[in-house]
Amino acid sequence: MKISITFDDKYEVQKFGSLIFIKEGKETYITSILNIIKNELVILLKDKSAHSIMFKDEESVEKFADFIQSVLEKKHKIISTKIDGLTIEIVKE
């Protein structure tokens, strides 16, 4: 399964890409979603730090939250990410 999400800002897509997937260990640093406020997603990482990511719109946040839920529940794993401009493609197995 894969998803493509677009951001308004190149910094946000790059930050998000670096937080979501670590290629060497094929793992995600995200352990939970703390909050969703309009187009902002607040996530908790394995190191217990919280980070805010600003998506393009509310629909993108909800789309990602639905997609990542099975990964957080350890039913699926993220296997790759690819950034292309303001869009990130995330693939899970």
For residues 64-91, give the mean pLDDT.
Answer: 93
Instruction: Name every residue whose Cβ is closer than 8 Å to that of residue 24 and which is 6 or more positions away in sequence.
Output: none
pLDDT for 20 equals 84
pLDDT at 90 over 90: yes
Domain boundaries, the chain: 2-92
28-70: pLDDT as tens digits: 789 999 999 999 999 999 899 999 999 999 999 999 999 999 9
Average pLDDT, the chain: 91
pLDDT for 27 equals 74
Instruction: Name 53's bridge partners.
Output: 41
H/E element holding 67?
Answer: helix 58-72
pLDDT for 25 equals 64
pLDDT for 42 equals 96
